[in-house]
Amino acid sequence: MRMNPWDRTGDPDEGTKELNRQHGVLPIAEYSAWVKNRIQHHGNGQLVIALLGLGGEVGELFEHYKKNRDRGRPIDKAAIRLELGDILFYLTAIAEHEGIALQEVARANIDKLIARDGVNNERYKERQ
Ligand SMILES: [Mg+2]
């Protein structure tokens, strides 16, 4: 029987766990500081560059899914991880431009979803 390339029954966190084993957990604030430093030194800290970069990288992610789905191939998680990283880079650059910490973005998103949908995530609620 042919495997469904869109099946996600494996451990979705295994890649993350392996990276954490190899390199340690990367705090979100440390990543933000790294992005801020990089865009300052590469001169690509302009908002328009970050916005265009974000759009382009989202397109690359879409393209990866489209091509693999069209051809019945399994998703390459390593490639998806790289594209999500590209998206995260430009997202972080936009947040930095606006003086918003990525941590604030994540927290505000959780708060918004809980306020909208009700407290439906017991694991998050327990951490409060
Ligand atoms: Mg890319």
Q: In the predicted model, is pLDDT for residue 7 greater than 80?
A: no
For the entire predicted model, the pTM comes to: 0.76
Q: How many residues does the chain have?
A: 128
Whether 2 shows a pLDDT value over 80: the answer reads no
pLDDT in tens, 12-24: 567 677 777 888 8
For the chain, count helices (H), then strands (E): 6, 0
* Average pLDDT of the segment spanning 100-120: 90
Annotated domain spans of the chain: 26-100
Q: Kindly list the protein residues that place their beta carbon closer than 5 angstroms to ligand 1, a single-atom ion.
A: 57, 60, 83, 86
Nearest alpha carbon to residue 86 among 58, 124, 109, 110: 58
Answer yes or no: are the C-beta atoms of 58 and 87 closer than 8 Å.
yes
Q: Are 28 and 106 in contact (CB under 8 A)?
A: yes
For 121, the token pair is 């995530």
Mean pLDDT of 76-103: 95
The CA 61 to ligand 1 mean position distance, Å, reads 7
Q: How far is the CA of 67 from the centre of ligand 1 (A)?
A: 15
- 29-76 pLDDT, tens per residue? 999 999 999 988 876 568 999 999 999 999 999 999 999 999 999 999
Provide the pLDDT confidence category of residue 80 given band limits of 50, 70 and 90. Answer: very high
What is the assigned CATH class of domain 26-100? mainly alpha
Give residue 60 CA to ligand 1 midpoint distance, Å.
6
CA distances from 11 to 17, 18, 82, 109 (A): 10, 12, 19, 24
> How many CA atoms lie less than 13 Å away from 125 in the CB half-sphere?
8
As a whole number of Å, the CA-based R_g of the chain is 17
Ligand 1 centre and the CA of 97: distance in Å?
21
- Percent of the residues in the chain that have a pLDDT greater than 70, as a whole number: 79
